[in-house]
Structure 1
Amino acid sequence: MAHLKITDASGRQWEFKFVEHAICTIGRAPDNAVVLDDPRASRYHAHIKSTDNGSFTIVDGAVINGQLRRSANKVFINGDAQFEHQLKTGDRITIGASTLRFEQPAEERTTDVRYDDKPLGHTQLLISANDVMSTVLRSKTDDIIPALARDKVLEALQRKANILSALYEMSKTLGSVFDLNAIFEKATDVIFRSTPADRVVALLAEPGNNGNYEDAELNPIAVRARDSKLEAHARKLSIGRTITRKVMKDRVALLSQDAAADEQFAGVDSIVSQGVRSTICAPLMAETRVHGALYADRLDPFAAFKPDDLELISAVAAQTAIAVENARAHERLAREEVARANYSRFLPEYVVKQMLDNPESFKLGGVSQTITILFA
């Protein structure tokens, strides 16, 4: 079920689950669906409405007496002020000093990709995620000179230089970017410019799946096709669950060539009818955990990726993982800073530190209930 993960200005955290076809109102007034304890929020600051295809749209303001009245301090989506925005999973909504994170399971998003459980292709190539950068940087000149002509050697070296240039550009750009959508947009741009990939899907693991990578729920948060005309078709194609599970569990980048891409199977019509294709999947592995995966494939069943493509996409995934880790750390620190500022007004510093380090150790005493008081 689609839901919001909310942290208001006081540091209080909770979840709000959407009711089908119901409008979710947000603001300070007690009759809102989401009530924010935030002086910078308007009484009726914004509302979220669902559509028939299962998507959700947030609108700045509320309809009062038949007129839409905008909020005083605006609604920010991933850092940008927006009057109206169709929400995607992972979107960060900022209202005053409160943060609302929108999440929607993959099965509810009709525009997202589907999974299948087909076995791996006939030809496979694996690279350990720990060895990605060393594999990319290692020179292969000595190995290829005896077998290739001089122009082929120069071509191979030029490709290596292009890979390093793309990685440098990506690291420079993402050094100060904390928006997940912008991070994956840059990653897919680099992949399209440097490999023959026809479709790239960014898969993000749900927070809280630490240590259980085999069964981690992967949510597609970005789907792009090389040709914009094929975007709708690309979204209908499935993703190999067998591949993503292996990548997440074993922490390896995988190149799977289906039979149609192998020369010995060329011309087999039945392979084409099955829609098999060449696929690369690389984990978004940082120091602390696997954050997800980048999944790229060729839509032409007789076109195959090469080992060099696996190296580049693996390296892009490594850079992307660092950016994702930084973005999540930045978001966590921002929440803690807001909570620290609010708690510090009433509590000693050592108590605030303990509350932030171990929030489960603090619980409200007494019983919360509705009472009636008679004054005489």
Structure 2
Amino acid sequence: MIQRPRGTRDLLPPESRLWQAVEQTARAVFGAFGADEVRTPAFEPTELFVRSVGETTDIVHKEMYTFEDRKGRSLTLRPEGTAGVARAWIENRLHDRSHPLRLYYIGPMFRYERMQAGRYRQFSQIGLELLGADSPLADAELLLVLHELFTRLGFDDLQVHLNNLGDPEDRPRYQQLVRETLAASREALCSDCQRRLDENPLRVLDCKVPSCQVIVADVPPVSTVASEASRAHVVAVEDQLDRLGVPFVRNPRLVRGLDYYLRTVFEVVSPKLGTNAVLCGGGRYDRLISDLGGPAVPGSGFAIGEDRLVDLLPDGFKVRVLGLRRLYLVPLGGAARAEALRLARDWTRAGVVLEVELTGRSLKAALKRADKEGFAAVAILGDDELAAGTVAIRELATSSQEVMSPAEVPAWWAGRS
């Protein structure tokens, strides 16, 4: 038997309904704040991710799915969404449009990661990018949109962690500070962190190995070398969040795993996830588009790990989605079966959610299936009902039965939904 590749999974009903509901909610919230959807290719030239994410990051160094096509061109399955949006902005000359521009995406990403709970090698992200605004207000808007989305999904215990990564001009000074602080402990670091200390010391601070986390606790925070302009920027973001009532904490140890971030960086964490707490991350990336060959355009954004998000959905949201009322239309006899699809068309147009019995089950077998599958009611259409121009509706919760005309069914259904 052929099986799915390791690190992937099949999303089956009813869980797939949760994914649809989450994505519909995200589209509604993002759209309400003026965002439009963008869809970029699932694979891009490898150079795009090397130049944007950073050659020394773990993503580029050991997690990307890279291959050559038949003409020898190096292509990579996208490990994240922001780089593709930036490339699309440049290539499609979106600078001609009015800015700021708000673009969101929903889709699969690919990383060859170590398997653990809630983490897959094909995973889905929900992301939002805000391009063309360098003000703290833009960062605050992103966090407000996030807060609104999580609120509509029913979350009330998530925490926003916020930090200032400074400006790119501050980076060399901080890298040197990290190297000097950790020099005496170098041999105690994991092999990856020893390499990171040479190539990109900030990545050491992002290590998830417990022993490394203890060692890097002695490293001074990046705020010790951050510019006054970056400090003022992040303080202004925090002031806006206070005004909006969006709860947050300053986390001086927070760095993100992508090299293009500067100034504001943030994560949304869940206490339920323990050490693997991150549900969402983002920040400001004012140099990304220019680094990729475009003009100097400021930007900021975030990406939500949809797999983890769905796993952690509050029970109230799940009940609303999975408890959707459905009607089971059961035709009995050839004449009724010939009429069933016309009724199904008319009723669904009027807002009834239903399923037609197609396999010729008897009424007894159909009622048994309806009870097992959680239908709210069964619409029975037999020869007698057909001759009388009626349909019998049996509610399963009460075992009560009413007879009405087919035209009355949508109003009856709406009154009980």
Structure 2 length-normalised TM: 0.24
Relative to total residues, which structure has the larger strand share, 1 or 2? 1
Relative to total residues, which structure has the larger helix share, 1 or 2? 2
